[in-house]
């Protein structure tokens, strides 16, 4: 099993290109199931999760080709000859459940295994199920699979989400594009990935309004068509690399970065003593002084502080001046990186959904283990600021969400290398 070796070596300088958003692409790819015509996605990230979604769509009968070294995904679902999303594929990644809504809308039936992914909380399928049932689907759980059918087709409805779930919003929105009548999703997720999916669906001929607001209205149409769509910039990769000069010093420009994608995150960086300025090519980040100031963080749905940047922010707070409190309100099991940071000399006290971090002068390199996708990169960031060598094990998590991570960090002067396992 591969590992990553990191050596702390001071300030960073240079440019890092930011890829297309993993979470956006994983919702856009299943949209191909809604149409017989081709869908082409540009600016696609090159990640193992994208390969998993490719495998799943191909198992259903879709044609998927990776072009231009993986940065273009060409998809066609003119023939769908299987409506069963098998456990052996779905267990690898939670976003696999996003084939449920499109298959119900196009085929009138779907059998989808309950999903897997990072072990950061239960993340049940209830909201997906209730929303699709409101559209007229009949769904039954049998032997670990959701058996869904819509014998009389899907019909528009008003759906009130009890939580602004990104996945549920995406599944319901895709299903509603081919439903008869009007669907309104209330308390819808507002993330940029939702807006990106709506933009793509509209290019395909859908009628979606209000994406990015709490109320999304979808007027059902008879069919969708082909389209070409660029995947939006990955705001989580963007935020992660913005933290590199914040924790190490120096100045780094993030190519393709956009302030509107990371507003709440940038507010916290500014509060901590980190400058973020817009450039013609993206965003430039520079830290004031030798250490940042401690700031408190509470994770919230967009436009709040992203849960997917909480682990990375904790790494920064480990060397901040003062004490910070990080409150995790999205997932109940997302402080698994804290014990690994403590191995590096961090002072962290976790009580339920609260983590109190008292900054130290410096961290010390140590062997650590990645527990999930975002935890893995938080340990790399900590290693960049630590004395000595840090070895991050179980980095297969990293491959799910960060492309060419060693090359990107090395490109700004970090001492980092991937060590192949036996």
Name the residues annotated as catalytic.
Answer: 118
**Residue 217, φ and ψ in degrees, nearest 5:** -110, 130
Task: List the one residue out of 312, 330, 322, 384 whose CA is nearest residue 358.
Answer: 322
Decide: 174 and 30 in contact? Cβ < 8 Å: yes
Flag whether 127 is marked binding: yes
Residue 153, exposed/middle/buried by CB under 10 A (0-12, 13-18, 19+)? middle
d(CA 106, CA 31): 11
Task: List the one residue out of 88, 86, 46, 38 whose CA is nearest residue 62.
Answer: 38
Flag whether 124 is marked binding: yes
Flag whether 171 is marked binding: no
Flag whether 330 is marked binding: yes
Query: How far is CA 392 from its chain centroid?
Result: 21
Flag whether 80 is marked binding: no
Neighbours of 264 (CB within 10 A): 16
Flag whether 23 is marked binding: yes
> What are the DSSP E strand ranges found in 345-388?
347-351, 354-358, 363-364, 367-369, 386-387
Residues in the chain: 422
Flag whether 22 is marked binding: yes
How far is CA 34 from each of CA 79, 104, 107, 174, 368, rounded to the nearest angstrom? 11, 9, 9, 8, 43
**Binding-site residue set:** 22-23, 94, 123-127, 308, 330
Annotated binding residues for UDP-N-acetyl-alpha-D-glucosamine, as ranges? Answer: 94, 123-127, 308, 330
């Amino acid at each position: 099993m591969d590992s990553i070796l990191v050596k702390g070596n001071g300030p960073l300088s240079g440019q890092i290109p930011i890829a297309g958003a993993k979470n956006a692409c994983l919702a856009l790819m299943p949209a191909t199931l809604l149409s017989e015509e081709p869908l082409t996605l540009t600016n696609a990230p090159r990640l193992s999760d994208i390969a998993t979604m490719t495998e799943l769509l191909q198992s259903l009968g879709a044609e998927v080709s990776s072009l231009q070294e993986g940065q273009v995904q060409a998809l066609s679902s003119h023939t769908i000859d299987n409506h069963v999303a098998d456990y052996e594929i779905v267990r690898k990644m939670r976003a696999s459940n996003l084939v449920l809504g499109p298959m119900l809308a196009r085929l009138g039936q779907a059998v989808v295994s309950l999903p897997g992914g990072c072990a950061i909380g239960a993340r049940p399928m209830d909201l997906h199920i209730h929303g699709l049932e409101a559209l007229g689907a009949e769904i039954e759980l049998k032997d670990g699979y959701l058996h869904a059918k819509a014998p009389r087709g899907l019909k528009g409805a008003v759906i009130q989400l009890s939580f602004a779930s990104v996945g549920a919003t995406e599944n319901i929105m895709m299903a509603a594009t081919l439903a008869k009548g009007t669907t309104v999703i209330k308390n819808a997720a507002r993330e940029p990935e939702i807006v990106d999916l709506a933009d793509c669906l509209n290019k395909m001929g859908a009628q979606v309004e209000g994406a990015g607001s709490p109320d999304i209205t979808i007027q059902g149409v008879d069919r969708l068509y082909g389209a070409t769509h660029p995947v939006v910039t990955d705001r989580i990769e963007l935020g992660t690399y913005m933290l590199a000069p914040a924790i190490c010093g120096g100045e780094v420009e993030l190519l393709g970065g956009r302030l509107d994608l990371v507003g709440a995150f940038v507010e916290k960086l500014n509060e901590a003593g980190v400058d973020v300025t817009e450039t013609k090519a993206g965003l430039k980040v520079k830290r004031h002084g030798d250490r940042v100031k401690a700031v408190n963080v509470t994770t919230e749905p967009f436009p709040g502080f992203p849960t997917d940047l909480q682990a990375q922010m904790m790494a920064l707070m480990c060397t901040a001046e003062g004490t910070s409190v990080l409150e995790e309100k999205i997932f109940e099991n997302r402080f698994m990186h804290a014990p690994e940071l403590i191995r590096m000399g961090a002072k962290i006290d976790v009580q339920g959904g609260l983590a109190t971090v008292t900054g130290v002068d410096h961290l010390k390199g140590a062997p650590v283990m990645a527990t999930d996708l975002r935890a893995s990169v938080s340990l790399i960031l900590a290693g960049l600021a630590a004395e000595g060598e840090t070895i991050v094990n179980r980095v297969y998590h990293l491959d799910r969400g960060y492309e060419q991570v060693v090359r990107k960090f090395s490109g700004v002067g970090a001492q980092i290398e991937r060590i192949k396992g036996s």
